[in-house]
Amino acid sequence: MRSILSVARAQLATALRERITLFWFLAFPLFLLTLLALIFSNVGTEVDEMTFDVTLVNLDRPVAGTADFSAGIVEVFRRLGEPRGEGQDPLFALHVPEQGADVPAYVESELAALRVGNRAAVVLIPEGFSASVARAALAPEENATSKLVVHTSAGRTSSDLVVSILDQVFVSVDREILTKLGLFDSSRALVLEERGVGSQGGGFRYVDFLLPGIVIMGFFTAGLFSVPGTILFGREQRILRAYWVTPLNVPRYFAGFALGHLGLCVLQFACVVLLGRFAFGARVDLLRPLPLLYLILAVVTFLALGFLVAALARTANAGMAIANIANMPMMFLGGLFFPIGELPVALRAVMLANPVTYLADGLRASTGTGAGVLPTAATIAVPVAWIALCIVVAVFRLRWDVER
Amino acid sequence: MTALRALLAAELRILARDKTSLTFTFFFPLLFILIFGAMMGGMGSAEGSRLGLVVQGGGGERLRDVIAEVRGLRTTEYTTSPALEADVAAGDVDFGLMWDGTILTTVVDVRRAQENSAYKELARGIASRFELAVQGREPLVAVEQVVEGGGGNADWLTRVVPGIVAFSVLSAGLFAVAGHITSMKRRRLLDRFIVTPMRPASLVAAVVASRLVVVFASTLITLWVAILVFRVELHVDWLRYVVSVAAATIGSMGMGTLIALVVRQPSSAANLANVLSMVMMFVSGIYFPVEIMPGFLRAISAATPLQYMADAMRYATGVVDMSPARFWAINAALLGLGVVLLPVLSRYLVRAERR
Report yes or no on B141 lying in a domain: no
Distance from CA of A259 to the nearest CA of B (A): 26
Report yes or no on B144 lying in a domain: no
Q: Judged by CB atoms within 8 Å, which residues 157-196 of B form the interface with A?
A: 158-159
pLDDT (0 to 100) of residue B355: 43
pLDDT (0 to 100) of residue B347: 78
Cβ within 8 Å, pair B148-A152 = yes
pLDDT (0 to 100) of residue B308: 95
Encoded amino acid at B151, one letter: G
Which is more confidently placed, A207 or A273? A273
* Stretch (H or E) spanning A385: helix A376-397
Q: Judged by CB atoms within 8 Å, which residues 261-300 of B form the interface with A?
A: 268, 271, 275, 278-279, 282-283, 288-295, 297
Residue in chain A nearest B94 by alpha carbon? A341
Residue in chain B nearest A142 by alpha carbon? B138
Domain boundary among B134, B167, B186: B134
pLDDT (0 to 100) of residue B39: 64
* Stretch (H or E) spanning A54: strand A52-58
Report yes or no on B150 lying in a domain: no
pLDDT (0 to 100) of residue B23: 78
For residues B199 and B259, membership in a common domain is answered with yes
For residues B33 and B90, membership in a common domain is answered with no
For residues B256 and B230, membership in a common domain is answered with yes
Report yes or no on B347 lying in a domain: yes
Cβ within 8 Å, pair A20-B132 = no
Name the pLDDT band for A271 (thresholds 50, 70, 90): very high
pLDDT for residue A66 is more than 50 = yes
Q: Which of B43, B119, B140 to mutate to test the interface with A (most CBs of A within 10 A)?
A: B140
Contact B106, A195 (CB under 8 A): yes
Distance from CA of A260 to the nearest CA of B (A): 23
For residues B80 and B126, membership in a common domain is answered with yes
Report yes or no on B252 lying in a domain: yes
Q: Which of A160, A205, A320 to mutate to test the interface with B (most CBs of B within 10 A)?
A: A160
Residue in chain A nearest B89 by alpha carbon? A198
Q: Per-residue pLDDT tens for A286-336?
A: 899 999 999 999 999 999 999 999 888 888 878 888 888 888 888 888 888
CATH number at residue B63: 3.40.190.10
pLDDT (0 to 100) of residue B36: 72
Cβ within 8 Å, pair B110-A158 = no
User: How confident is the model over A152-165, as a mean pLDDT?
Assistant: 84
pLDDT (0 to 100) of residue B353: 45
The candidate with the shortest Cα–Cα distance to B320, out of B283, B278, B285, B279, is B285
For residues B244 and B291, membership in a common domain is answered with yes
Which is more confidently placed, B73 or A377? A377
How many domains is chain B partitioned into structurally?
2
Cβ within 8 Å, pair A164-B117 = yes
pLDDT (0 to 100) of residue A380: 94
Cβ within 8 Å, pair A167-B31 = no
Distance from CA of A322 to the nearest CA of B (A): 9
Distance from CA of A305 to the nearest CA of B (A): 20
Q: Which residues of chain B have pLDDT under 50?
A: 353-355
User: How confident is the model over A37-57, as a mean pLDDT?
Assistant: 73
Residue in chain B nearest A110 by alpha carbon? B148
For residues B71 and B204, membership in a common domain is answered with no
Cβ within 8 Å, pair A194-B120 = yes
For residues B116 and B203, membership in a common domain is answered with no
The candidate with the shortest Cα–Cα distance to A311, out of A401, A239, A393, is A393
| Nearest-angstrom CA–CA distance, B27 and B214 | 12
Domain boundary among B104, B134, B164: B134
Cβ within 8 Å, pair A190-B127 = yes
User: How confident is the model over A88-104, as a mean pLDDT?
Assistant: 88
Domain boundary among B81, B102, B134: B134
Which is more confidently placed, B126 or A47? B126
Strands B50-55, A191-197: pairing is: unpaired
User: How confident is the model over A68-85, as a mean pLDDT?
Assistant: 87
For residues B297 and B315, membership in a common domain is answered with yes
Distance from CA of B131 to the nearest CA of A (A): 6
List the single residue in B109, B144, B271 with the smallest CB-CB distance to A147. Answer: B144
Cβ within 8 Å, pair A178-B140 = yes
Q: Does B225 touch chain A (CB under 8 A)?
A: no
Q: What are phi and psi of B77, to 5 degrees?
A: -95, 145
Q: Does B109 touch chain A (CB under 8 A)?
A: yes
- Residues of chain B positioned with their CB less than 8 A from the CB of A375: none
CA-based radius of gyration for chain A: 31
Q: Per-residue pLDDT tens for A336-360?
A: 877 666 667 778 888 889 999 999 9
Q: Determine the structural domain holding residue B237 and report its residue range.
A: 7-40+155-353
Distance from CA of B197 to the nearest CA of A (A): 32
For residues B196 and B250, membership in a common domain is answered with yes
Report yes or no on B147 lying in a domain: no
Report yes or no on B329 lying in a domain: yes
Cβ within 8 Å, pair B142-A41 = no
Name the CA dihedral angle for A23, A28, A29, A30, rounded to a multiple of 10 degrees: 90
For residues B29 and B56, membership in a common domain is answered with no
Cβ within 8 Å, pair B110-A342 = no
pLDDT (0 to 100) of residue B157: 81
Q: Judged by CB atoms within 8 Å, which residues 18-37 of B form the interface with A?
A: 19-20, 23-24, 27-28, 31-32, 34-36
CA distances for B30 relative to A321, B168, B214, B241, angstroms: 17, 10, 15, 18
For residues B185 and B329, membership in a common domain is answered with yes
pLDDT for residue A2 is more than 60 = yes
For residues B34 and B75, membership in a common domain is answered with no
Report yes or no on B215 lying in a domain: yes
User: What is the percentage of chain A residues whose pLDDT exceeds 90?
Assistant: 27
